[in-house]
Structures are given as C-alpha cells and as structure tokens.
Structure 1
Amino acid sequence: MSSESHISFSKERLTALPTPEAGKRATYHDTKIQGLQLRVSFTGVKTFSVYRRMKGGQPERVTLGRFPTMTVEQARKQATVINAEIEAGANPAAVRRAIREEPIFAEMLAEMLEKKKKRDGSPISERTKKDYLDTARLHMVAIANSKLSHINRSEVKAIHSKVSKKSARQADKAVAIISSVFNYATDHEHFSGTNPAIRIQKNMVVSRDRFAQATELPYLFAAIGESSLSDFFLLALLTGARRSNVQAMAWRDLDLMARVWRIEMTKNGTPQNVTLSPEAVAALKARKLTTGTSPFVFPGEGKTGHLVEPKKAWAAVLLRASLRRLLDHLGGLGKLSAKERKQADQQITTAPAAAEKHYRSIAAVLKIDSALYDMTDLRIHDLRRTLGSWQAKTGASLAIIGKSLNHKTHQATAIYARLDLDPVRQSVETATQAMLEAAGVKQTASVVLISNQSRK
C-alpha cells in the first residue's frame, strides 16, 4: 500500500482528494485511528468505514457514513467505539446493530422528558416539557437528527454562539438542555462518550431587577381592574407567589380564616406557607362567588383544569397602562384637550392597537422618551419582585423577604426555618398598604371593587 494512501484525516485533505478513474475506487487510511478508512468512488462519493480483522481472523468492514455529511471527528469517534467493541469480542453484526440502534438527539430528548424525575420524585411538568421542546425546535435543528456520538463540541458551541446574538439567556438554556440530554443518556447507558456541552462558557447575564415603581402603580392597578384576569394579576401581586403556583391555586389549600395559603410544592422543590394580606383575603372571598364547583381559584378549560396562559391578558394590561400614562404626559404638555382625552380613553378600550399606533407616533414626533410612559417591559414575574422590592423599601430584612417569597439559599435557609409567619405577615401587609397608597387605593373594599370590575 502506498504511503500516500496513509494520511492524517482532516476536512481540507479529504475535500482535496482526487476522483479515481472510471470503474476504479481509491482507499485512504487514517494514521490516527486504527482501521478507519475513506473510500472514494469514481463518481466522487466518499465513504467512511472501519476495516478490521475480528478475533477469529476474518476481516470485516463496517460502513460509518459519507463525507462530508459525517465529519472527520464524528468518524473517528464512531471508529473508536467500534474498535473498543471489537477488542471486547463483539461480532460484526453486534457492532452494526449498536451503531444502527444508537438514538438520535431528538429521540433522547423525548425519552428524557417522558421519564426523567425532578428532585422530589415527581415527573417534569407539562409546562417544562413544552419549554424544552420549543427551545429545541427553535435552536437545535442542526443536531436534532444526529446520533449522539456524531454530535461534537463545535456544533454545540455554534448553536450557543448563534442564539447568543438574539438572547443570552436562551443560548445558555439551549446548552443546558443539550447537556441534560447527554447526562440522561449516559445515566441510562445509551451513550458512553464525552458530553459535548460541558464547559461551554456561559454568557454574562445581568440580573433582572425590574419592579413596579410608585409612579407606575396607579396605572397598573387601574388597568388590572379592567382585565378579564384582574383577580389573577391582583393576587399574583399581593402574594408574591410564582405565576405557576397562582395559576394552580386550589381552594383546598387556602385557609382564609388563618389567612394562609399552603403550597405543597414550589419550583425550588420545597413547600411554602404564603401569608395572605386582608386585601388578598377579600379578593379571594369575592372570587369564591364566581368559580362554581371548580377546585381551582382560576378554572381553565384545558386538561389541567386551571388557568394556563395569561400572557395575552397581561400584554393588554400593560398596553392600557402605558397608553394612559402617555396620555397624562401629553395632557401635562398641553398637547391633549379634555375632549381629546375622553376620545382617547374610549379608543384605548375599543381599539387598543390603533390607539397605540396613533399616540406612540405623536410621542415620537414630540421626541418624548418612551421610558417616561412605556411599561410593556414589566413581566408577570415582576409582580413577585414588586412585592419583595416594596418589602425592602418599607424596611423588611432580607431574611423576612426570603421567607415570604420562598427563596432558597444555602446561607439563609437555616434563618428562614426559624422564622414564623408573624413578622412575614407584618412585612407583607406593610408593603401592600404602601403599594395601595401609591396607587391611590386605600381601603380594602376598593381592592374588592377592582377585582370585581371585570364581572360587572
């Protein structure tokens, strides 16, 4: 065999290989991995294979895949696996079967979501499954149909780099999901190689500290009062609970006399006692009159039985709040008469999209900074942060804030365990009163009226 046929495989060298004469085929041998070959046909097709003698002395060829669809790195990884199996005494049929039966990434992700358990032993939630699958659909198309041993680190880094241009958090999440799939595959003996997603540098993400400011609260409360999900947003704000927990709030977990909501399991894997302010209790009592026989405070028509997705309603709340804040600003500048303001308020109710386009264009012409009125960057989760922030503003300690919001940190967990609900209740109620005063809502009955406006 000519020394010219023994080369160190690389993309550049294999791409530059000449095409044999008609009717002939050339074979090249990798100098790094035993038995790894590339055969080039006279039609230009280049195919990786492993050619080895089995334990009994009989030579066998195991076809791997075509170059460049299969990369040199992938071929070397697969050849290494085959060599190990041959050395262990496996026959060619077993080797071929192992290659054929190795799962692709999409299959492994689906199995992981079906069988993986959380730390408390419960299955992964439907919401988490959807989130993982949506992330995979958007960002992992390049590896979805690849066998696990064919996915290399450079491909994962490419995914991270591409997604980072749009969202640093999404990029890091995509890599974390890929890593989880490979860890699961390793744990269940579907994969024995190196996880290609490990030690990929995460993006530097600035922690979000957005919460409703005092100047925003009047507009926010007014817009919430007009929403079809006014009770939901109000209770999310007054309890500081996570959105998923508020959505699944059940009557059996509420003790309105003791003013406590018992959450059996939260996102961080622990139960939580949520203290209920008088305003929250009043809203819940009013809510009870509207839910019929449903076990949930916020019934839904889907298979969960409770509210699942409040994003559209929240977007409508923020749009109304932002536009009314802009209208007040325009009025203060003398750019809006009383009659025009009345017409604008009506348009916000009947045609919010048209109102937004019209008044944002006016603001642009007047060079009004959107930061002076735009609240559309406020997320539902920021309602939870809003309560905590107002607790801090009214003098609550970090330990009490952590207890009320069920934060879990190694340093403060022991402190939280020694706290009872009395100081937490005082802090929550003080923060609630401060928010209501800032919003111009000072009486408990007024909160009930807010939550009942959508049912008039």
Structure 2
Amino acid sequence: MSKFNFTKTAIEALPLPDKGWIYYYDLKVQGLGIGVGTTGKKSFILYRKINGKPERITLGRYPDLTIEQARGKASEFNSFIANGLNPSELKRGRKAELTFSELFAEYMERHSKRKKKTWLEDQSQFKLYLDKSLGKKKLSSIDRKSIAHVHSSITKAGYAPTANRVKALLSSVFGWAISAGLCEINPVIGIKSNKENQRDRFLQSDELPRFFKAVAEEPNSMIRDYILISLLTGARRSNVLSMRWKDINFDRAEWRIEETKNGTPQTVPLSPEALEILQSRKLSESAIFVFPGSGKAGHLMEPKKGWKRILERSGIDNLRIHDLRRTLGSWQAKTGASLAIIGKSLNHKNQNTTAIYARLDLDPVRDSVNKATSAMLTAAGLKDSADVAKLKKI
C-alpha cells in the first residue's frame, strides 16, 4: 500500500496504471485514498473496515473535490464509524431521501386534493414560486435559511401578501409531512410573516373608460372574457377559472357554484352583459369549462400575462384581479346597496350577518348587481340607456 502526503503536485504526477485502477493513501487522514484510472481520471475514496468487513466509499472526483475537502469528508465519515455508524448506509439513505418536489406530490395526493377546496391554488403556488427554488432539494438540505430566502425573494418582487401565502403553504406541507412520518422538523417555524394592510383598491370612475378599452383590445378572447366575467359577477378567482357550463342556467340568468372557499354553495345572478358574454362563448354542447385549458385541470389556470397586458394598455397601476371582486362590491355600495345585499352577492361569510343573508332572496341581490354593472358601464361611457352594453365592440 503506497502512502504519501497528498499535495496537488504529488497527485498530478501520479503515473497511469496499465489496466484498471491503482490506489494511493494519504498520510494525514486515516483511510483516505485516491484512485487513478487508465484514462487519467482520479477519485478520492475512503477505505476502512466496518464491522470486520472492508468498505470502499467514493468521496468525489479530483479536482472537483479538493484535497482539503476530501480530508474533511473522510474525517467526517471516520467520526461516523467511531460512533458505530456505516457511512455507506448513510449515503444510500440520502439517495433514497425525498426531494421537496416528491414530498409536495405526496402532500397534494394524500392531503390537499382530499381536504382542501383551494388545492388548485396550492398547485399553482408550487409551480410559480417553489418548484425552481426548492423542488430538487433533498428534505435534509432545506432549512430555515432556505425558506427565508424564498419568502424574501417573493416579498422583494413586490408581492408581500403572496409571500405570506407561500410561507403558510410550506408550513402546511412540512407540518403534514411530520404527521405522515416523512420528515422530523418544520423549517418554516420562526420565520416572520410580512405585515399586511387590508386592501381597499377598486376601479375608480376615471379609470373605468381606460380599463374597458384595454380589455376590449385584448387579443386573447379567453383572457378578455375571463376578466369581464370576474368583474361582472364578483366571484372569486378560482371559481371563475373553473366555471362550468352545466352550472349556468341561461333561462334564470343564474350561475350555481356548488363549492366556494367558504364551504358553502352560492347562486350568482348574471347581469344581461354577463349573459351576453357567456352566450357568445358557448360554441360546443360537449364543452365542460367556460374557460378551457390544456393542463390536467382542464381549465384556464393562470391569466397573469394577459392581465399584465391589460394594465399596461390602460395605464392603471396597483390593480389585481381580486380587486375586480372588490370593484363590484364598491359600486354596489355607491349605488345604495346595503351591506347585507353586498355580503350575499359576494358570498362573504360573517357570523354577525349570516342569519340576515339566509333570509334574503335573490331578487334584491340581482337588482343590486345589475344596478352596479349599469353604473360602472355608464361611468365608462359605454352605456347611457337600459340597453345591454356590447363590451367586446368598444
């Protein structure tokens, strides 16, 4: 067994064997060796007897792994051996360890899809914010610093509330993983959430003409119609995205949502303008979704790019798709609707007013929605009579 003090000069001067590999060993660290192949490749190894059996453990390729790094790794493995552990078994265990992407897939199938009405939002957040940053990482390598970096990156991009939602999702994933025996710690614990101010943003009178003009000029008809239906119904984003033809009753001018975020069903009155848009979209009796998509869900998933185009054309800042929901409610208030009517039309779940909502029938809600729609379109310069505004032909 040839031994010498490993140096860069000495290692690079090692002769090539005639066949196979030849091994040399370091004088400084027990068991540390370097193998030289016939092609000139060199790899660090650790050669030790463990439980009476010789084990040769590959540490890494030289010069990708430096001499000092190899010595450090070998010393770490020697420490494991001294404590009765087998480094080979530890390495095999690390290879078998789940990545975050694999853990998230387990979480979706075994928990989110079964118990959360918002599972599509979980899936969307993973694709947008977590897949690239954490997806390929082994669970043991994800620590509080890793999570803090994700949270900070989203915050710095200008999405502080979204950063908090993603942090909450991560905490839910790791919390479930602990209960399922897939990991032992939740690295999200201890990371502070961003302070959130309640938004009161909605489309103002002077913004409406620019907004409707920008929507009408949107080349993607699905995005255009999705934005308009979101505004005219005040429904939540996920419900509009997954809107199904079978839930729409054109005769009664109603859209029945069987499951909402609140866990309660909702009947949404459809204004004449909303009906006109929907009737123009229904091209096939076999279609399932109003806004179909090519992904697994079968419907449109992410309208962010189209929304950005509309805002750029309109010159409107700091407006989110969810603000369209608030816009309808605000215009209902402007046109004299009571808080109870607004709450029922937007399906707000409030313990203090739930009983009142339950006693309201749909007619005053419909009148309020139609009145608010008419007021918005009049302010936009699109309507000055009882006629249905042609929103697509501005």
Q: What is the aligned partner in structure 2 of residue 435 from structure 1?
A: 376
**Aligned equivalent of 2:310, options 311, 317, 320:** 317
Residue ranges of structure 1 left out of the alignment (5+ in a row):
1-21, 27-39, 54-58, 65-92, 323-373
Q: What is the aligned partner in structure 1 of residue 272 from structure 2?
A: 278
Higher helix share: 1
**Aligned equivalent of 1:188, options 155, 180, 185:** 180
Given the alignment of the two structures, is residue 173 of structure 1 paired with residue 200 of structure 2, yes or no?
Answer: no
Q: What is the aligned partner in structure 2 of residue 61 from structure 1?
A: 85
The verdict on how the C-alpha distance between 1:215 and 1:302 changes in structure 2, with shifts beyond 3 A counting, is same
Q: What is the aligned partner in structure 2 of residue 225 from structure 1?
A: 216
Given the alignment of the two structures, is residue 395 of structure 1 paired with residue 336 of structure 2, yes or no?
Answer: yes
* Equivalent-residue separation in structure 2 for 1:183 and 1:430 (angstroms): 47
Amino acid at match of 2:168: A
Q: What is the aligned partner in structure 2 of residue 104 from structure 1?
A: 99
Q: What is the aligned partner in structure 2 of residue 381 from structure 1?
A: 322
**Contact 2:125–2:166 (8 Å) recurs in 1:** no
Q: What is the aligned partner in structure 1 of residue 27 from structure 2?
A: 23
Alignment of 1:1-20 (within 5 A): none
- The Cα of 1:237 is off from its aligned counterpart by 1.5
- The Cα of 1:386 is off from its aligned counterpart by 0.9
Amino acid at match of 2:240: V
Structure 1 window deviating more from structure 2 (271-280 vs 413-422): it is 413-422
- The Cα of 1:309 is off from its aligned counterpart by 4.2
**Percent identity, aligned pairs only?**
45
Alignment of 1:62-101 (within 5 A): 62-63=86-87, 101=96
Alignment of 1:205-216 (within 5 A): 205-216=196-207
- The Cα of 1:273 is off from its aligned counterpart by 0.9
- The Cα of 1:411 is off from its aligned counterpart by 4.3
Q: What is the aligned partner in structure 1 of residue 76 from structure 2?
A: 48
**Aligned equivalent of 2:249, options 252, 255, 259:** 255
**Contact 2:118–2:261 (8 Å) recurs in 1:** no
Q: What is the aligned partner in structure 1 of residue 365 from structure 2?
A: 424
RMSD between aligned alpha carbons? 3.6
The verdict on how the C-alpha distance between 1:406 and 1:199 changes in structure 2, with shifts beyond 3 A counting, is farther
Query: What is the TM-score with the length of structure 2 in the denominator?
Result: 0.69
**Contact 1:239–1:280 (8 Å) recurs in 2:** yes
Deviations 1:346-369 (A, max 9, x none): xxxxxxxxxxxxxxxxxxxxxxxx
- The Cα of 1:296 is off from its aligned counterpart by 3.4
Residue ranges of structure 2 left out of the alignment (5+ in a row):
1-25, 31-66
Q: State the secondary structure of the residue aligned to 1:425.
A: helix
Query: What is the TM-score with the length of structure 1 in the denominator?
Result: 0.61
* Equivalent-residue separation in structure 2 for 1:101 and 1:409 (angstroms): 48
Amino acid at match of 2:155: S
The verdict on how the C-alpha distance between 1:172 and 1:315 changes in structure 2, with shifts beyond 3 A counting, is closer
Q: How many residues align?
A: 328
* Equivalent-residue separation in structure 1 for 2:172 and 2:214 (angstroms): 41
* Equivalent-residue separation in structure 2 for 1:200 and 1:194 (angstroms): 14
Q: What is the aligned partner in structure 2 of residue 336 from structure 1?
A: none
- The Cα of 1:145 is off from its aligned counterpart by 2.0
* Equivalent-residue separation in structure 1 for 2:105 and 2:76 (angstroms): 30
Q: What is the aligned partner in structure 2 of residue 87 from structure 1?
A: none
